[in-house]
Structure 1
């Protein structure tokens, strides 16, 4: 399926924005979908791109993607319930439609992404009055951190981003966020090490698509090591998917708890940062 409008031309890693958009829309079209995302469905219909030919149309992959995305949605929704006027900073946002799924009408949103991705996002998903898009390297905090209102609570989301970065840049980004946003949190996802090795070797491919290299990977039982990025990381929490459908839904609880699957799975993790101490 392809739409009849904008024809995006993206490099290998930014193109993953189209991959994730397609699988969210595939799942959202189902009457028994685990993720309600009409904006993604409408967006796919508008974009002139051979989605099915390039990415395939796996119902299992669509559901897995939706369950991962729902973990992020749940964390953002919980944050906004606690901090209704807080700021959500989305790093490497691509064509994510989370704002339309969980916005509370009062929060502020900042999307930070590469210039070509921001240009496409501005064309296809024009920002509302409480949304800002910033063309910058998400790993360069000097380029975006000062754009965030420090008087309000901050949640930073790095969804589908860190696996494409070298490990040293991942560590630096976590440390920088922890030290610049006291009292804030970062929610991130990681592929397991076996998947990262296969991706980096070019061995994960579909009908017309090859997954880009993934230099950074982390098994789920390694999440506590993220504390070592900075003393300002004071808590680490696993976020587990819920509400799966069919056989996948039945097997998911086992995959979360039974070794070795429990450690060798894609993981979503929340890092909480220490409050500021001493004089500001």
Structure 2
């Protein structure tokens, strides 16, 4: 996940823990079609993907999967160091991505992994250009994830027609700050995703994970986001994949053996 000041709000923002401190390489962006508005089937569900794991070095594990749900908006990769969890999110991935490397791991440790699809349509995007001001006097709480009063609660299940957030509005509050607000249309979301696409990048990526019912949030941007498009998505998780486990090796370098003189 990306390092930014907004992640200081992690305890308030995240629905589940995110491995912000892990050295995780960001996948190459790629364009993808908008996910279809799809209702999750009720009842017991079979995993939509099958996960495989390979120890590619003593402390690097590569995950691969072949099956995918064409109706999913993306996938969430998670890990745990105890068989029963708790699981920590490594990243939200675009639906066409089929591999992920978890690097620089603790040696002699067993890691468990699972992959979950998530569903839900995104709002219409808004374009933001950061300039030189002047800026309005911001609300002191502009960057906090909030539930603004006066909005009507959503009534549509995630995945159904009309459940995507509406009325997304972006206000530049400072040289590197953007405040977002939107209307909640979903009744059963497990959270909201704020996604962005800086100019020159072909695909959107998740930049913040918000709790259910939140309809306002402020983002402290990165330099690459001076010109960017943003959208927000109400989402629900699908069934997890099978759990795979790998145990890392010993990262201690082998001692150098000095050859004795004849």
TM over 0.5: no
TM-score by length of 1: 0.22
- Based on CA coordinates, which of the two structures has the bigger radius of gyration? 2
Quick check: which one's strand share is greater?
2
Quick check: which one's helix share is greater?
1
TM-score by length of 2: 0.23
| Higher RCO (CA-CA < 8 Å; seq separation 6+) | 2
